[in-house]
Amino acid sequence: MRLLVVEDDPDVGDDLVRSLRDAGFVAELATQGDDAWFRGDTEDYAAVILDLGLPRLDGLSVLRRWRGAGRDFPVLVLTARSDWTEKVEGIEAGADDYLAKPFAMPELVARVRGLLRRAAGHSSPQIRIGRLTLDTSRMSAHIDDRAVRLSPLEYRFLEFLGHRPGSVTPAQVIAEHLYGVADCGDTNAVEALVTRLRRKIGPDIVENRRGLGYVLSDTKQ
């Protein structure tokens, strides 16, 4: 899944991007408020990690502009400040969760996964669609009761579609969230990935709606 990290401290920003990529996400970094606002307003992100103390345009203003424009992706707000009134302002501006610095990277990754689950309507770490069960905390997959060994890229593909139950997702959108780009070569890579994945999980789990995209089958048999 494609995430936007908004952090003006280069060391913290690099650590965040690296940790999120290690956790299986496609993470991009913005270091200034106006750039973050533009990206969030024009690009498709699954979630945003947003620092409040930004140059050019502060984080709360960025968040208010996003929400005012109808951008509803989950936002995890980061701040070094502990003033409870600022936390209230962040929530009222449209933040979905709040994490004060310093923090442990595993906690941040867990918070992001929780936001994505809730945004997709899942209350537990397990996503069940038809015969497929995904455990987002362990990054594992089962078909019926059989564990399936997947590559990180194969798992990320299934998890991305698992967070969009019933939605047919174009290959271009999938490519953006798997690779960070969506040119012709990467959509071809998505098709090749699906072909390889079907050899492991069977031909009926991932449906290809011709000319539209991919969706996970919700049938049990």
Residue with tokens 């502990």: 82
Burial class from Cβ neighbours inside 10 Å (0-12, 13-18, 19+) for residue 177 reads buried
- Note the pLDDT of residue 132: 94
CA 115 to chain centre: 9
Dihedral sign of CA atoms 212, 125, 96, 48 in order: negative
178 touches 153 (CB < 8 A): yes
CATH number of the 2-119 domain: 3.40.50.2300
pTM given for the model: 0.76
Q: Where are the domains of the chain?
A: 2-119, 126-216
Sequence length of the chain is 221
* Helices assigned H by DSSP within the chain: 10-22, 33-42, 59-68, 84-93, 105-119, 152-162, 171-179, 184-201
- Note the pLDDT of residue 97: 87
| CB-based contacts of 142, cutoff 8 Å, min separation 6 | 132, 133, 135, 148
- Note the pLDDT of residue 101: 83
CATH number of the 126-216 domain: 1.10.10.10
What is 163-199 written as a DSSP string?
TSTT--B-HHHHHHHHHS---HHHHHHHHHHHHHHHH
The per-residue pLDDT string of the chain (221 residues; one tens digit each, 9 = 90 and over) reads 899 999 999 999 999 999 999 998 999 999 999 999 999 999 999 999 999 889 999 999 999 999 999 999 999 998 766 566 667 777 788 888 888 888 899 999 999 998 998 887 776 788 999 999 999 888 899 999 899 999 888 999 999 999 888 899 999 999 888 887 666 667 888 999 999 999 999 999 999 998 899 999 988 75
Q: What is the dihedral of CA 176, 120, 153, 28, to 10 degrees?
A: 40
- Note the pLDDT of residue 216: 95
The rounded distance, in Å, linking the Cα atoms of 99 and 102 is 9
77 touches 50 (CB < 8 A): yes
- Note the pLDDT of residue 145: 87
The rounded distance, in Å, linking the Cα atoms of 144 and 64 is 44
- Note the pLDDT of residue 205: 94
Beta bridge partners of 76: 49, 97
- Note the pLDDT of residue 123: 66
Query: Hey, what amino acid is at 146?
Result: R
- Note the pLDDT of residue 183: 64
The rounded distance, in Å, linking the Cα atoms of 54 and 58 is 5
CA 97 to chain centre: 15
